[in-house]
Amino acid sequence: MDAASLRRVAAEDDPPKRLERRTQIVAGVQRQLLMAPIDDTLVPEMFDVLIALAPRMESGTVSPAWASWIYSTYERDLVKERPTGAPRRSHVEIDRALGELVAYYHIREKASPERQGFDATREWRDERRLGR
């Protein structure tokens, strides 16, 4: 689903606090990533993670491979740190956490191999130059 569809599901299901459609969507992602189903208490936050990842994928900033890694890493950390899902992170906190992962691993738009090589060389040169 695209970002707009995910936001629409969240808006339609939020007032009555229903989780059926969110659970189906998250379960589908879990199956695609060959991951075991998650506990229902974690579904709302993982659905929010999908909402935060979707625009990044649509814009090309995060590739599907990186998105699957970010999603699975976020879930692993969530289960380890807050197995009950409480307290649930806000959208802002989730965006910040994903932004930190993107920045830490230098996840960028797909570029040509030539451009990637140029950027890597420039980054290496700049790191060495700052030490003088």
SS3 state of residue 129: helix
Number of structural domains in the chain: 1
Residue 63, domain extent? 3-130
How far is residue 9's CA from residue 19's CA, in Å, rounded to a whole number? 10
Report how far Cα 50 is from the mean position of its chain's Cα atoms.
Answer: 6
Rounded CA separation 74/76 (Å): 5
Rounded average pLDDT per 10-residue block, the chain, 132 residues: 81 73 91 91 92 88 89 93 88 92 78 71 79 58
pTM score: 0.76
The CA dihedral of 2, 4, 5, 11, to the nearest 10 degrees, is 150
**Amino acid 13: pLDDT:** 76
